[in-house]
A and B are shown apart, each in its own frame.
Chain A
């Protein structure tokens, strides 16, 4: 069978898919960012995979990807890779302040330990800025990076008005107000040695490892209450509802999920392989590999999926604004309460997205 591949620029990808859906011109197979799935299903754009996907492929899929691809009880998408968040640290600097170096999520620093370490590091640092939160990234990063904080504290994006959410994001605000965070306009805070800790995803590993070699260590995000939580989710594949030959489309998805394809793809983009068997064969992500933390987080559920709701585009827009405001000093409770109200109003306006 032949495949025709269309590339779309990432910035306007969703609007182009929406336009194609309105015009009835969706392709047979679509790749898109995971959290958009629920809206596409709600709009009737995608068909459930059901029995189209091989049983072996389904059981081999990472649990995090199965969760991302499932909406209202049915699986709609598969991913060739997943993602993860962690703190990259400079071993020498952390050891010089006597910090314990956790390497597994269950050993994550508590908030008290984390703040102690930040303060000790800051005392030894020239400008006191010791933490990089990649505030130079825009848009979805803020939700990807900081909604796990809410979950780790015992709240989530659907419950922004819980006191746990306010408490967790207040910590973020305090780190900013105490001058602990490098604004990182040049995206070089960690590689230039300006900070000891960088809060970012798996994709920075090649650059960071090349710069710091053996001095680099990978640390789970701190535990804000109920355990460390990483971000998860990435681009995934689904079959559209207008596809005329779903069986053949599924053949392509089954093919993508074979070890050879998964390993080639993840060798290219550095992401966590999307299947159990490929992880076992990946030098970076298998047991004992330098990036095992990322695969362990996904395999054992130390991560916070973005909420499975058709309202996601709205929710993420509101949350991004809230994080930006909070980091730059706005009153946390007020910001979160008004964000929660906006999200609730949008649900009401859309008949609860039934």
Chain B
């Protein structure tokens, strides 16, 4: 029964990873005619001392710390607003908020490049200038070391919130309506019903969506590659950007595989944290 699935896992997940793990202890350079050498933990030692990687990981962490709570809260707010059984326009709004998820990031990034255009002609600058009654100093968001990462965060939240919203809506729909009726009979107001019924019942779904967003926050790549190339001066570089650049631009397979192993460790750690969070509930 399980064998086809296990075989698929072995062939397409475990085997490539095992290979990456092995290659991470070599100096393999893509297409090099020289024989590859075992270099022990050299690649890992270099990563450990690489300030560019430290910067990239710090960016991933900042990204996760801002985007995960922000995007989860926003998705929850949208889901609660749209969870109105029998409301005809709900479908339309759901589609609107979900649409960015379906757009390819390459398209989204091109549009946001124009939104972030430098100077007061840029829509984002113009909006901020209008909101601040003209006090806003126009900025080149994507090339400003202070703003570039934040600019990528904003577009990522806009693009990703729809998916979380849909998952949370699914969670909301599974909460039996008699719980709300009972709470109402007991005199609970809307805010209390949200805190005492909705949130506890959504707990697992929320943990899942937060975990998913955290993992996505550690593999942020497309928007970085298209909009900033990790710049200015590393301000938006990420683990995945470093990895792809090592492998496919700089052809350093040994280093890229060591980065892959690092990435898998981070994902395992996050997944472990989720399991811990879920188990606590069972106690």
Contacts and interface: CB of A to CB of B under 8 A. Distances in A.
A321 B230 contact: yes
Interface string A179-210: 00001010000000000000000000000000
A336 B33 CA distance: 29
A43 B232 contact: no
B interface majority secondary structure: loop
22 contacts: A18-B30, A22-B31, A39-B31, A43-B33, A183-B117, A183-B118, A183-B140, A185-B113, A185-B114, A185-B117, A313-B251, A314-B249, A314-B250, A320-B229, A324-B232, A325-B232, A328-B233, A329-B232, A329-B233, A330-B232, A335-B233, A350-B34
Given A18-B30, A183-B140, A317-B249, A127 B119 contact: yes
A10 to B, nearest CB: 15
A351 B229 contact: no
Contacts of B113: 185
A96 interface: no
Contact of A15 (B32, B230, B232, B248): B248
Contacts of A127: 119
A330 B143 CA distance: 11
A44 interface: yes
Given A43-B31, A185-B113, A329-B145, A321 B140 contact: no
B38 to A, nearest CB: 14
B219 interface: no
A324 B228 CA distance: 9
A329 B31 CA distance: 35
B66 to A, nearest CB: 22
In the complex, the 4 A-B pairs of residues with the closest C-beta atoms, listed nearest first: A328-B232, A330-B233, A317-B249, A328-B143
B34 to A, nearest CB: 6
A350 B29 contact: yes
Nearest to A325: B233
Interface in B232-273: 232-234, 245, 248-252
A111 interface: no
B27 interface: yes
A42 interface: yes
Contacts of A44: 33
Nearest to B119: A127
Interface in A35-75: 39, 42-44
Given A43-B31, A127-B119, A185-B113, A346 B229 contact: no
Given A183-B140, A185-B113, A328-B232, A313 B33 contact: no
Contacts of A328: 143, 231-233
A317 B245 contact: yes
Nearest to B30: A18
Contacts of B230: 321
A321 B229 contact: yes
A330 B148 CA distance: 14
Contacts of A39: 31
